[in-house]
Structure formats: structure tokens, C-alpha cells
């Protein structure tokens, strides 16, 4: 806040960027990261996200785990004694699921990794893995191409608009 010397009124002014400190505190997020990302994707895509939110998933199974009771996503509940606990997002945010139990993420990750390791000795399991992996990569690549086209279109629009403003 600064004081207007003429009127004596207090005015709010943003501090210069060099005086600001920013830090992501995912544990204090009001909206589940999964839901937030989905909402951003709907609103205008990842281009609208802050760079720190565009990073790769935080955990091995980020976005993949589902509540066994209602099928909703799981979100980080807290970090307790160096271990991460997760919980049904619907149970946490809307109390619309009765599965209020929390789970140790490292236990789930170890079980999944162990299961994968067991199945990777099987030829059919490897073939299935490679096929699903390639399908997912292709879907992601198609998404990127599509996004790039959208962004380039928006850029052209912005450039045309800039031209118009400049000419005016």
C-alpha cells in the first residue's frame, strides 16, 4: 500500500517482480491438482498454466490412482513423517464418498512396481506393455500436434490484431 500524497488515500500497488518471492505449496492447494489441470485444459490449455504447474507428474502414479469405492481420483492428503498419504478426492472435498481411509503412497507404488516387475518376465506382458506404451505416446503426440496448431492459430490472430491496432 502507498499513500497518495495529494489525496491522502491509501492505494494498493503491486511490488516489482524482483521484490516478490513465489513458492508452490501443493499441500495447501484448495483444488485437487488433477481437477485444476482438467479445468485449465478446458479453459484454454496448458499454455495458460504457470510454468511450475506444467512440470512432469510429482509421483510415479500421479493421476492414475482411483478410489476403490467411488472411482474418483486420489489426492495427496498430507506428508507425515516423510511419507505421503493419499485419500479419495471426493471423500476429501465433497464428502460424497464414504471411503475416508488414507493410504501410504509408497506402499502402493511398491506394490505396483513389484507387480510390473513380476509381469515383465512374461513375454506377453512385455508385448502388452510396449503396445500400450506406444498407443499412449501416439495419443500424446497427436495431442501436442493439435495443441501446437491451436496455439499457432492464436498467435496469428494476435499478430493480426496487433497489426490492426498499430495501423489504427
| DSSP-derived 3-state class of residue 17 | helix
Question: Which helix (H) or strand (E) is 25 found in, with range?
Answer: none
Is residue 99 within the footprint of Zn ion (CB under 5 A)? yes
Task: Record the cell numbers describing residue 110, joined without a space.
Answer: 511398491
For residue 147, what is the DSSP state? H
Q: How far is CA 97 from CA 72, 79, 86, 89, 100, in A?
A: 9, 22, 14, 9, 7
For residues 45 and 63, which CB has a smaller minimum distance to Zn ion in the complex?
Answer: 63
DSSP H helical ranges for the chain: 33-43, 89-93, 105-119, 123-167
**Smallest separation, CB 96 to Zn ion (Å):** 8
- Per-position x/- string for 3-42, each x denoting binding to Zn ion as judged by CB under 5 A, each - no binding: ----------------------------------------
For residues 33 and 90, which CB has a smaller minimum distance to Zn ion in the complex?
Answer: 90
Is residue 76 within the footprint of Zn ion (CB under 5 A)? no
Q: Which of 49, 61, 63, 69 binds Zn ion (CB under 5 A)?
A: 69
Is residue 74 within the footprint of Zn ion (CB under 5 A)? no
Alpha carbons 152 and 155: distance in angstroms, whole number: 5
Beta bridge partners of residue 88, listed in sequence order: 74
**Smallest separation, CB 158 to Zn ion (Å):** 43
Interface stretch with Zn ion, choices 5-13, 26-34, 97-105, 130-138 (CB under 5 A): 97-105
Size of the site for Zn ion (CB under 5 A): 8
State the residues that interact with Zn ion by CB under 5 A.
67, 69-70, 72, 88, 90, 97, 99
Amino acid at each position: 500500500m502507498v499513500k497518495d500524497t495529494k489525496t491522502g488515500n491509501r492505494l494498493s500497488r503491486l511490488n516489482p517482480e524482483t521484490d516478490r518471492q513465489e513458492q508452490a505449496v501443493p499441500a495447501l492447494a484448495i483444488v485437487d491438482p488433477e481437477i485444476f489441470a482438467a479445468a485449465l485444459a478446458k479453459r484454454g490449455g496448458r499454455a495458460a498454466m504457470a510454468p511450475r504447474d506444467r512440470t512432469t507428474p510429482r509421483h510415479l502414479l500421479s493421476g492414475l490412482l482411483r478410489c476403490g469405492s467411488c472411482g474418483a481420483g486420489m489426492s495427496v492428503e498430507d506428508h507425515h513423517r516423510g511419507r505421503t498419504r493419499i485419500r479419495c478426492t471426493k471423500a476429501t472435498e465433497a464428502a460424497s464418498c464414504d471411503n475416508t481411509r488414507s493410504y501410504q503412497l509408497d506402499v502402493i507404488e511398491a506394490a505396483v512396481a513389484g507387480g510390473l516387475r513380476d509381469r515383465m518376465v512374461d513375454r506377453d506382458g512385455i508385448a502388452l506393455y510396449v503396445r500400450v506404451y506406444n498407443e499412449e505416446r501416439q495419443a500424446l503426440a497427436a495431442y501436442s500436434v493439435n495443441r501446437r496448431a491451436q496455439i499457432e492459430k492464436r498467435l496469428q490472430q494476435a499478430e493480426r490484431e496487433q497489426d490492426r491496432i498499430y495501423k489504427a
